[in-house]
Amino acid sequence: MTSPSPDNANDEQKALATTLRATWFGASLDDPTIGRLSALARRRTAKAGEVLLVEGGRSDEFGVVVTGRLALRMLVPERGMVTILTVEPGDLYGWSAIAAPQRATSTVVAIEPSELIAFDGMDLRLALAEDDRLAAALYPRVLEAVSRRLSATRLQLLDLFTHREPEAW
Amino acid sequence: MVSAPVATVDPTEPIGFLPRPELDRLIEALQADGRRVIGPTIADGAVVYDEIASQADLPAGWRADQAPGRYRLEHRGGVRLFDYVVGPTAWKRFTFPPRVPITVGHRDGGAVTFTAAERPATPLAFLGVRGCELAALGIQDTVLMAGPAVDSDYAAQRAEVLIVAVECVTAASTCFCTSMGTGPEVRSGFDLALTELDDGFIVRVGSPAGADLATRLSLAPVEPERRAEATAAVAATRRSIGDPVDTDGLPARLLANLDNPHWAEVAERCLACANCTLVCPTCFCTSVGQRSDLDGQESVAERAWDSCFTAGFARVAGGNFRPRTQDRYRQWLTHKFATWWDQFGSSGCVGCGRCITWCPVGIDVRAELYAIAGSRSGARAAAIAIQPPPTPTPVGPPVDPATMPHPPALATAPAVAAAPKAPTSPVRACIARVVSTRPESPDTTTLVLTDVDPAIVAGLPGQFVMAALPAFSAAPISISRYRPDGIELTIRAAGPATAAITQLGRGDQLQLRGPMGRGWPVEAAYGHDVAIVTGGIGLAPLRPLIDAILAERERFGDVRLYYGARTWHDQLYGDELDTWAGRPDLEVALTVDRAGPEWFGRVGIVTHLFDRATWDGSNTVAYVCGPERMMQATVETLGDRWVAQDRIWVTLERHMECGVGLCGHCQMGRYFVCRDGPVFNVAALEGIFGREGI
Amino acid sequence: MIERVSPVRRAREAGSSIRPRLGVVKFASCDGCQLTLLDLEDEFLALTERFEIVEFAEATTNRSDGPYDVLLVEGSISTPEQAEEIVRLRRQTPLLVTIGACATAGGIQALRNWGDETDFRAAVYAHPEYIESLAFATPISDHVAVDAELRGCPIDPGQLVELLTSLIVGRRPQLPDESVCLECKRRNAVCVAVAGGFACLGPVTRTGCGALCPAYGRGCYGCFGPREQANARGLARHLQVVEGRAPADVGRLFAGFTAYSEPFRSMVTELGGVAAPGVAPGGGPARESHDA
């Protein structure tokens, strides 16, 4: 990696901003917000099988998937790790990093080589605490993503979505 | 069927006067024609229709005092035979009996046969049919004979019934034929009509058979005073009833009040005991049970009167579409007074008042209609003495649809949405043979069948068959593929009947009846993009649609298949999914609800496969099949992608027994799912799709 | 579970000629439900060809403590020994079927549940200290899981044959959960409540008997127990408010063979009717004290 000179940093940030805007997550955010986020963000890759967050552990990374796929997994002791959701390109992971109690609600694993835009949890929390405008722009989008997951989870819970139990009588 | 009156017969014009002692001549003439004469008799404290030998068997001098939940027979003396008004039995007991065998099934190893049960028609004469009852017979004629499927035994028996009608010159406090337009005058639909006076009967002829009978009676001329007396008596009866139910716009008013809190209030009083439906002369819902020997080798399928109030009526594997008493009461009332119009072109109620009298807790349908649907003409209900419910709860005023911004679509025929393709051939039965079986998932098996009736093989994508084995109830199964020499059925073992079918092996037989229902309209998508969204076993009814689209691939734009399964083990047609996914002209996206580490595909619900897609749905036709909750969520999400509701087709499931719109079980609002569906356009389901307890 | 209900089919398909083992046992009951099995006469013989009856004290000296493929259980649990025995029996069979009002609802003896069992004991027996019974007489389902029920007092022979046939054939037993009223109307019996003023539990009682009692001109006793979503409260309200019956009389109607099943139980508790002697359930017309 080249050492960040001001020019490099600016190009880097512009590239990040472009990538971010092209995702579902970033598509509705305004320019100042994109700019602020790009300054905080970094690109990273995850290898297939790499664990990004551990269920129940401290959550310190928030990110957006650019390419690839992450699996959200929970441990069911009788069955091992069960994938309950996958995160597709454009969607976010690690929202728990910016919501109390900053505890990961599932284990996040890359199941394909994935490119991510990642944010350090602490840095992002500080930025949100200082910058009301950033918070006002970011939290609704995060809430939208989490709400979509909540509805899905509820339907999966009801198990009415794809299957019904057979009856003997 | 009563013969149509010929030009020379005027059913409104009296042709003679039958002195009272001469009534026996009429009865004898009917018996001489080989008919069993059914008339009113006294039994167990009520007037019950039964076979009579002579007029001595008729209830001379008896009257019935009727009120909600109360019937008291009184002997008032005198000679009048027909002043009792209606009793608990309806004539349908003889034309549409409570229990009849319909088929006999035989199973020997893997071989099965089904034969129709013999039910020869008996020549009958009905003596004492009132105006409301004539109307009821006509309504049942329409229900059972005028639809796409005809109850041929009913038709045969009905043709052997001769009707001697009787005009009402008294009324019970529970009568409301005047409001329903069915009486007390009797104008047509009979062979002979009698109006009783003290010393005899004024006779009118309504058909050639009636005219023939009349020639065998010694009729005196009708004097003007007698005629006037009869007319006055009937008019006085009409006045005594009044007009208790405002039927002006009643269907729309009822259907605008599906969420009226009063339904819950009725449900507190209603016992869901089904008495109202069983005394009703137009109710036609039935169920089929199996009476078999101990080994299930010989089984008679028996059809019995059923009711929408029973627990099993709307039950399917996995639940019950009308779990609460208020759902069932609403179904009964809205069917009888509103959706019957959509289905059969008339009201289902004839105003006979039996449901009021024979309700053990005296629920009065006239009062309930007023409470729920109000009245356009003011407080007519106040004109009759209606017993208020014991614990009335305050409810909001009924909604008048005239004041609503958008009149509900239910009471009117669906607007522009194109109907799914109507069945092209009548339903056939055949004994099919299993060629091979293929397990698709732990509980789902595909049967490949041959010896299938050509009409079924020529069916449409989305149609279904009723599959039956002796001693088991028949199951509705969608056809999952059409082959040159037969069909495939993909069946989930959801209960004992479907489990028995999935356990069949090569060479075993089963009965198929079909093809039934309306299929997926493939032509509706010509020139459009296509989205197919399905979950679980829902892919099975869609597979013939996919076959049809791929056979003419060039006629469609982008074609996308979205398929969600519980786990990847539950995916159907694994090899075909791979083949389809490999095609450049077909986009296939799969997801499962949960997976282990061996799955690298998507995990989540099927709507997540396209809720953030970037394609523009404004030129898309969508076909959706899966559990109803999934279809609701899918329709919403498709709407977010700009797919118009009138371009979305769903396939619904309800409790089905006959598959041809005669048993009444599968009703959903104004539709029979078996006959008007199971494929429906979502726009046509406005107001009922996604509504609780419909 | 599908396997469990067709032991005969499973055995036959496996090519086995071994008949499934059927047991019939009894707790606190009159024995009438077991007798229904014997009363089947010729059909009973046909059943013995398809089931091996290994325990049926009423009918055979063959005894077996288990295991069974199908176990029919009559009677309610009234003593400490019975409470232990039913748990032992549950482990001996994959399919436990309760037969009759005692086993499914607690029976008429469950009326003691509203009183003090020690008082009854003292009133009836010279040496009550020799009798050991539980304070409550309870249905089998209060103690162990039950796979199927045949209701009635006694059970209906047709329903018994249907249940056993369904085990052989592998189909769902056709035991409709609808009101007695449907059967009255199908068989053309005139409603004793509406036409006769009798108090009748038919509308809230599960069918199965063929509407026996109303066909003989009296109200239903409710011996098949409450049906699905029985609106006992609605019926009770009607009988009191509209027909003017006293609350205790209405409570007594529900205080019959299936008194202990909800919602009949709540009606008995709220309205009374178990304390004093009075009109028998299904008894005579109400006082004609109301205006229609």
Fold designation for B428-516: Elongation Factor Tu (Ef-tu); domain 3 (2.40.30)
Taking residues B97-116, report their average pLDDT. Answer: 95
pLDDT exceeds cutoff 60 at B392: no
- Counting one residue from chain B and one from chain C, the pairs whose CB atoms sit within 8 A come to 171
| Band of pLDDT at residue A9, cut at 50, 70 and 90 | low
Q: Which residue of C has its CA nearest to B313?
A: C178
Q: Return the exposure string of C54-82: e unless at least 16 CB atoms fall within 10 Å of the residue's CB, then b.
A: bbbeeeeeeeeebebbbbbbbbbbbeeeb
Q: Any chain B CB within 8 A of the CB of A163? A: yes
The pLDDT value given to residue C82: 98
Q: Any chain C CB within 8 A of the CB of B632? A: no
Taking residues B359-387, report their average pLDDT. Answer: 75
Q: Which residue of B has its CA nearest to A76?
A: B596
Cα(C240)–Cα(C238) distance, integer angstroms: 5
Tokens of residue A51, six digits: 């664990």
| Band of pLDDT at residue B3, cut at 50, 70 and 90 | very low
Q: Return the exposure string of B3-22: e unless at least 16 CB atoms fall within 10 Å of the residue's CB, then b.
A: eebeeebebeebbbbbebeb
Interface probe with C: pick from B266, B271, B305, most Cβ of C within 10 Å: B271
pLDDT exceeds cutoff 50 at C290: no
Nearest to B475 by CA among B453, B459, B498: B498
Question: CB distance C5–A166 less than 8 Å?
Answer: no
The full set of domains in chain C, from first to last, is: 7-169 (3.40.50.700), 180-271 (no CATH)
Q: Any chain B CB within 8 A of the CB of A4? A: no
Q: Which of B93, B292, B306 sits opposite C165 (nearest CB)?
A: B292
The pLDDT value given to residue C121: 87
Cα(B47)–Cα(B333) distance, integer angstroms: 26
Tell me the residue length of chain C: 292
pLDDT exceeds cutoff 50 at C1: no
pLDDT exceeds cutoff 70 at B399: no
Tokens of residue B638, six digits: 């498709």
With vertex at residue C158, the alpha carbon angle to CA C198 and CA C146, rounded to the nearest 5 degrees, is 90
| Band of pLDDT at residue C14, cut at 50, 70 and 90 | low
Torsion sign across C-alpha atoms C80, C85, C90, C95: negative
Tell me whether the CATH fold assigned to B428-516 matches the one assigned to B522-651: no
Residue B243 amino acid letter: D
What pLDDT, in 10s, does the model give residues B127-163?
A: 999 999 999 999 999 999 998 899 999 999 999 999 9
What pLDDT, in 10s, does the model give residues C162-221?
A: 999 999 898 999 999 999 999 999 999 999 999 999 999 999 999 999 999 999 999 999
What pLDDT, in 10s, does the model give residues B578-605?
A: 999 999 999 999 999 999 999 999 999 9
Question: CB distance B46–C195 less than 8 Å?
Answer: yes
Give the burial class of B573: count Cβ atoms within 10 A of its Cβ; 0-12 exposed, 13-18 middle, 19 or more buried: buried
Interface probe with A: pick from B593, B607, B614, most Cβ of A within 10 Å: B593
Chains in contact with chain A (at least 3 beta-carbon pairs closer than 8 A)? B, C
Instruction: Give the rounded percent of residues in chain B with a pLDDT score beyond 70.
Output: 92
Residues within 8 A of C (CB atoms), B 336-375 only: 357-362
ipTM of the complex: 0.90
Tokens of residue C257, six digits: 């063979």
The pLDDT value given to residue A160: 59
Q: How far is B10 from chain C (nearest CA, A)?
A: 37
Taking residues B321-325, report their average pLDDT. Answer: 93
Flag whether the pTM goes above 0.95: no
Question: CB distance C179–B271 less than 8 Å?
Answer: yes
The pLDDT value given to residue C18: 79
The pLDDT value given to residue C278: 38
The pLDDT value given to residue C274: 79
Instruction: Give the rounded percent of residues in chain C with a pLDDT score beyond 90.
Output: 77
**Where does residue B315 fall: left (phi above 0), alpha (psi -120 to 50 degrees), or beta otherwise?**
beta
Query: How do C70-74 and C21-26 pair as beta strands?
Result: parallel
Q: How far is B526 from chain C (nearest CA, A)?
A: 45
Taking residues A5-15, report their average pLDDT. Answer: 76
pLDDT exceeds cutoff 90 at C270: yes
The pLDDT value given to residue A6: 55
Torsion sign across C-alpha atoms B404, B405, B408, B411: positive
pLDDT exceeds cutoff 50 at C285: no
Q: How far is B553 from chain C (nearest CA, A)?
A: 43
Residue B571 amino acid letter: Q
pLDDT exceeds cutoff 90 at B396: no
C-chain CB neighbours of A167 within 8 Å are: 1, 172
What pLDDT, in 10s, does the model give residues B297-316?
A: 999 999 999 999 999 899 88
Nearest to B172 by CA among B28, B74, B41: B74
Q: How far is A167 from chain C (nearest CA, A)?
A: 7
CATH number for B522-651 (one of 3.40.50.2300, 3.20.20.70, 3.30.70.1150, 3.40.50.80): it is 3.40.50.80
Question: CB distance A161–B317 less than 8 Å?
Answer: no
Strands of the sheet with A61-67, listed across from one edge: A42-46, A114-120, A61-67, A92-93
Question: CB distance C173–A166 less than 8 Å?
Answer: no
| Band of pLDDT at residue B261, cut at 50, 70 and 90 | very high
A-chain CB neighbours of C4 within 8 Å are: 168
Query: Does residue A112 contact residue B600 with C-beta atoms inside 8 Å?
Result: yes
What pLDDT, in 10s, does the model give residues B188-234?
A: 999 999 999 999 999 999 999 999 999 999 999 999 999 999 999 99
With vertex at residue C179, the alpha carbon angle to CA C175 and CA C184, rounded to the nearest 5 degrees, is 100
Q: How far is A132 from chain B (nearest CA, A)?
A: 28
Q: How far is A126 from chain B (nearest CA, A)?
A: 31
Q: Which residue of B has its CA nearest to A71?
A: B603
Going from N- to C-terminal start, the domains of chain B cover: 16-106+117-241, 250-416, 428-516, 522-651
